[in-house]
Structure 1
């Protein structure tokens, strides 16, 4: 029996991979054979520690991950990786795939992995569809899409001040600029 090579990944630097690392160690992966990418998206096919984990695999070894989404987002990439490992004489083991431990070295494990990879990609595409639909609806309704707030020049604030001094309600002028009345008054005060 070959070695178990563990791989863990978190998408942002603020996230912790501790739970994944603990699960991999509990599954029999030695700490020396553990590779962790911090702040790396699963959408990228190549990742620094992932590449090192793949390079460490030899015939008879098994790449161990905790969940399918740690491996990637694209069914094509996941299936390509599974084939690449099989051709190299290595296997892939997912510790929690649909509540079970799946090893691609068996025909059943390979089939389950293929189905779950397709489902993972479908789930991602459904989420993208929902987000796009939500943004489209908010945009057409004139809703706030978030993002960085506009920066107003001193000239724009002076024009707003003139409108207020001419009798326009400050709340309406502020609303037209996309800011609160208090913010408008603060900006006017900084000009004086």
Structure 2
């Protein structure tokens, strides 16, 4: 029986050290770690590797539920995959959830729903804040990263849309969208 750890932070600037230390202190002999967003499993190769690695009798260990999944559905799918291999699941914080016990399974379900609710509420508050800022006229949105005038000038000089896109490191559709009619003709 092996304890297999999984650690994740959302961005490159964050450190995995605290999670990895906690997982080692808990007895994890193998730790998979990555710096990826928690939305969906598609872009998290270390999670896929951890799920492939675990065997019957092993336990997948994480520090907190939000390190594994952002939605109750995704969490339940991951846990189902863990259990289908005859392995268990443990969370070090949040009451020390352990799916080897009935209480742990109950607590896992409750906390998963609460975590998803918190994510939804946070997104709602963010949308409300943006709308309020727009109403006050102080919200400017994300700064433009591409100069539409430079795109128009390059196209007017005879450079092709594919060439402009490649040179600027943007999608060709962005070139077409920003090339639109010249200023003042919209």
TM more than 0.5: yes
- Cα displacement string for residues 33-72 of structure 1 (whole angstroms, at most 9, x for unaligned residues): 110012x001122311111111010011000000011001
User: 2:13 maps to what in 1?
Assistant: 14
Pick aligned residue for 2:37 from 41, 44, 59: 41
Q: 5 Å matches for 1:16-165?
A: 16-30=15-29, 33-38=30-35, 40-46=36-42, 47-97=44-94, 100-148=95-143
Shift of 1:144: 2.3
State the TM-score, normalized to the length of structure 2.
0.74
Q: Which one is further off, 74-83 or 108-117?
A: 74-83
Aligned residues: 148
Q: Do the aligned partners of residues 144 and 56 (structure 1) sit closer, same or farther apart at CA in structure 2, a change above 3 Å counting? A: same
Q: Do the aligned partners of residues 37 and 152 (structure 1) sit closer, same or farther apart at CA in structure 2, a change above 3 Å counting? A: closer
Shift of 1:101: 1.1
Q: Do the aligned partners of residues 34 and 152 (structure 1) sit closer, same or farther apart at CA in structure 2, a change above 3 Å counting? A: closer
8 A contact 2:23–2:63 mirrored in 1: yes
